[in-house]
């Protein structure tokens, strides 16, 4: 019964102020169909985290932003800079596709993306598209897609500088140069972060520090009336002090050095008024060197891992009429992975995709089909059907979709000596969802979605052979609710709750680290010169298979605020874990207690 009350809480919060004065809410544009479209026309359930929300949080890493989303669970193995992955809609971290400016990023060896080193300084917004999206994005997009979109320069030359310092001897300067005019825009951001950190092991006492040096840039050129070019680049170096496992004594000499690159070039061309084609070429590369002076040179403590992913995508959008758009594209991806002394492999994947979006009266349809040809397991075809009905008399939108997805085996699953299995098939999923979004007034909106997803051919260790095998199945069901209420022009509330029912069919256990309940409540106040944000996060009980036990529920309260002293000078501060909660995101790994941060931002 308590879950029913939590489910209804977002709606009860907003109903208390039903009669408030209304204002116009601007339309939000997303790319759930590889097209810029109004949020109201998306047939998938989509979350957009805006630049304003990121700015008001005054945080350092994208991990701190994703923790605020009830629809996903972020798991970090230690404090700042330690490995961080996302579990979306009950899927594993390998089953959620992550992109930066539309470029797919992941480790080819583990199959996951580590969010820990991505800072927020150049992020414009984050789009989270929930449910299988393999039809337009291919492998990994079984549970959904997270697209991190960075800022573009505009206007006259501008220089931004900020400096932050706080708990655990943390400090971080950031410098940005940006601008844009006469067909050329640019933005370059550089930052340095250093912290003494906390112990990676929950019961440890030695501080495990972290250092991050980041540089990113985005450059746009309008070379002709019908041609545009854009180049983006991101590099960061991270030095990470680690402990072995989660229960061993502190290890003062266990260190990982990482070099991470994302480079892409995109061309947009318009041969005719109704034909747009987009050519994207990208490279993603990670180099990880792990060393422990106390271990033997041949030990797996000392490893050199290099992964690389090169992608060419050629997309064509045909605007057949005001109500119909057809997208056709081809994609080639080459993945490489080397674990020195263990394996050095490369595989290709070729794909062709087709998607059509059309309107009939007040209903928007989205239908897609994709064919992938993978070097190891062969071919796979996925499809998706979606529709959204605009119910104007109720100021509501009714969504429904059905989709299939897949995930190609990782290099570790295919090639690790004694464990890998080159005969593995792809993991597969089918999913359906139904939802309704309603604007109760121009100040009040609510959303509720129910979904079910079935997973087959899941790759796990075969206990008879201790090798990777397609032996598991899983089922996920859930309800997601969101409500936003703007009490005044300066003050708003946002509440969200997710109930998740998961089961590993082979064991009868809940899927690891998926919380049964997650609830977020955020209160924001912002006027011309100041902003205050208060955030409450509740994460329910989770079963952690690596720890062999349930992790206790926990609640966090975070505060953040800023004040503009002068036109180009702003002070900001935040408090994380206000009530010093003792909790775990991953069994046996440490988490920070109460901590304080503050700094300045200036522009000239």
Task: Extract the residue ranges of the chain whose pLDDT is less than 70.
Answer: 1-31, 244-249, 296-300
pLDDT of the residue at 298: 57
pLDDT value at residue 567? 85
pLDDT score recorded for residue 370: 98
Which pairs with CB-CB distance under 8 Å and at least 24 residues apart come from 367-374?
368/33, 368/135, 368/136, 369/135, 370/134, 370/135, 370/136, 370/138, 372/138, 372/139, 372/406, 373/349, 374/139, 374/347, 374/348, 374/349, 374/408, 374/426
Alpha helices for 79-196 (secondary structure H): 134-137
119 DSSP 8-state letter: B
Give the pLDDT of residue 21: 41
Helices (H), 396-477: 411-415
Residue with tokens 């993978």: 374
Nearest to 126 by CA among 92, 177, 86: 86
The whole-number pLDDT of residue 64 equals: 96
CATH superfamily of 2-603: TonB-dependent receptor, beta-barrel domain (2.40.170.20)
Q: Are 483 and 57 in contact (CB under 8 A)?
A: no
Measured distance CA(431)–CA(450) in Å, rounded: 11
Q: Where are the domains of the chain?
A: 2-603
pTM beyond cutoff 0.75: yes
380-397 per-position pLDDT tens digit: 999 999 999 999 999 999
Left (φ > 0), alpha (ψ -120 to 50) or beta: where does 548 sit? left
Place of tokens 């129910």: 450
């Amino acid at each position: 019964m308590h879950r029913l009350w939590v489910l209804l809480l977002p709606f009860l919060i907003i109903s208390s102020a039903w009669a408030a004065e209304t204002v116009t809410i601007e339309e939000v544009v997303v790319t759930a169909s590889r097209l810029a479209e109004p949020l109201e026309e998306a047939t998938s359930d989509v979350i957009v985290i805006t630049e304003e929300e990121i700015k008001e949080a005054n945080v350092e890493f994208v991990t701190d932003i994703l923790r605020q989303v009830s629809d996903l669970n972020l798991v970090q193995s230690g404090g700042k800079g330690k490995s961080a992955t996302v579990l979306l809609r009950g899927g594993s971290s390998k089953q959620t596709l992550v992109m930066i400016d539309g470029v797919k990023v992941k480790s080819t060896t583990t199959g996951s993306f580590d969010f820990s080193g991505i800072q927020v300084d150049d992020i414009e917004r984050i789009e989270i598209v929930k449910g299988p999206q393999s039809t337009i994005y291919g492998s990994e997009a079984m549970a959904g897609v997270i697209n991190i979109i960075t800022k573009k320069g505009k206007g006259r030359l501008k220089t931004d500088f900020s400096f932050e310092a706080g708990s655990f001897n943390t400090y971080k300067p950031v410098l940005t140069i940006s601008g844009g005019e006469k067909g050329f825009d640019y933005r370059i951001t550089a930052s340095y972060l250093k912290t003494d950190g906390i112990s990676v092991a929950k019961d440890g006492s030695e501080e495990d520090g972290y250092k991050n040096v980041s540089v990113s840039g985005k450059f746009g050129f309008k070379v002709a009336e019908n041609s545009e070019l854009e180049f983006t680049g991101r590099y960061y170096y991270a030095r990470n002090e680690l402990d072995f496992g989660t229960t061993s004594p502190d290890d003062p000499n266990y260190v990982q050095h990482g070099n991470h690159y994302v480079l892409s070039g995109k061309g947009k061309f318009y041969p005719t008024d109704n034909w747009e084609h987009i050519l994207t070429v990208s490279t993603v590369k990670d180099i990880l060197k792990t060393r422990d002076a106390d271990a033997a040179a041949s030990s797996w403590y000392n490893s050199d891992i290099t992964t690389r992913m090169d992608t060419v995508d050629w997309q064509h959008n045909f605007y057949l009429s005001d109500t119909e758009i057809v997208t056709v594209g081809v994609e080639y991806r080459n993945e490489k992975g080397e674990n020195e002394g263990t394996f050095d492999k490369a595989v290709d994947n070729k794909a062709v995709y087709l998607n059509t979006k059309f309107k009939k009266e007040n209903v928007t349809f989205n239908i897609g089909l994709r064919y992938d040809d993978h070097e190891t397991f062969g071919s796979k075809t996925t499809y998706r059907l979606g529709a959204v009905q605009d119910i104007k008399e109720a100021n509501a939108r009714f969504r429904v979709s059905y989709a299939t997805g897949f995930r190609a085996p990782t290099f570790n699953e295919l090639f690790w000596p004694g464990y890998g299995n080159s005969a593995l098939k792809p993991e597969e999923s089918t999913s359906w969802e139904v939802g309704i979004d309603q604007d109760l007034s121009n100040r009040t909106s609510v959303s509720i979605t129910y979904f079910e997803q079935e997973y087959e051919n899941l790759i796990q260790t075969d206990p008879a052979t201790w090798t990777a095998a397609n032996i598991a199945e899983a089922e996920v069901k859930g309800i997601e609710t969101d409500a936003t209420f703007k009490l005044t022009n300066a003050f708003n509330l946002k509440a969200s709750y997710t109930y998740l029912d998961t089961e590993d069919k082979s064991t009868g256990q809940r899927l690891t680290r998926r919380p049964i309940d997650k609830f977020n409540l955020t209160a924001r106040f912002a006027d011309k010169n100041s902003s205050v944000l208060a955030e409450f996060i509740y994460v329910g009980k989770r079963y952690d298979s690596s720890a062999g036990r349930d992790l206790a529920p926990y609640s966090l309260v975070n505060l953040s605020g800023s004040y503009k002293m002068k036109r180009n000078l702003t002070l900001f501060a935040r408090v994380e874990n206000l009530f010093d909660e003792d909790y775990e995101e991953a069994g046996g790994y440490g988490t920070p207690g109460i901590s304080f941060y503050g700094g300045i931002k200036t522009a000239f």
